[in-house]
Amino acid sequence: MQKIYIRWLTKRGGPPYIPDEGVNEFPRKDIVIYVDPKYPSDAFVGVQNPSSLEEWQVYKVQDYSSWLRKEIDLYISLYTGL
């Protein structure tokens, strides 16, 4: 099984996102969504800590790997025209 992932960059090279007080969002730098070959039916979401860029909080989303694979395939086919 090949590794697949999507990484959203917070304004390439820009500062991390720190929400204003009272805003119901979590602070972050980048976000990664991926499928781990050890858990082929699940998807994972990694959120980079804006204060310590080496640190990531990872959340498991059960039974979403097939959905993620379809979304990535769709994006690639629309973006590349393949």
* Residue 31 structure tokens: 């976000």
Three-state DSSP string of the chain = CCCEEEEECCCCCCCCECCCCCCCCCCECCEEEEECCCCCCCEEEEEECCCCCCCEEEEEECCCHHHHHHHHHHHHHHHHCC
- What is the tens place of the pLDDT at every residue in 1-48? 566 677 777 666 677 777 788 888 777 788 899 988 899 899 999 999
Rounded to whole angstroms, how far apart are CA atoms 23 and 19? 6
pLDDT classification of 80: cutoffs 50, 70, 90: confident
Q: What is the mean pLDDT of residues 51-55?
A: 89
Domain boundaries, given as residue ranges, for the chain: 4-80
pLDDT at residue 13, rounded to an integer: 66
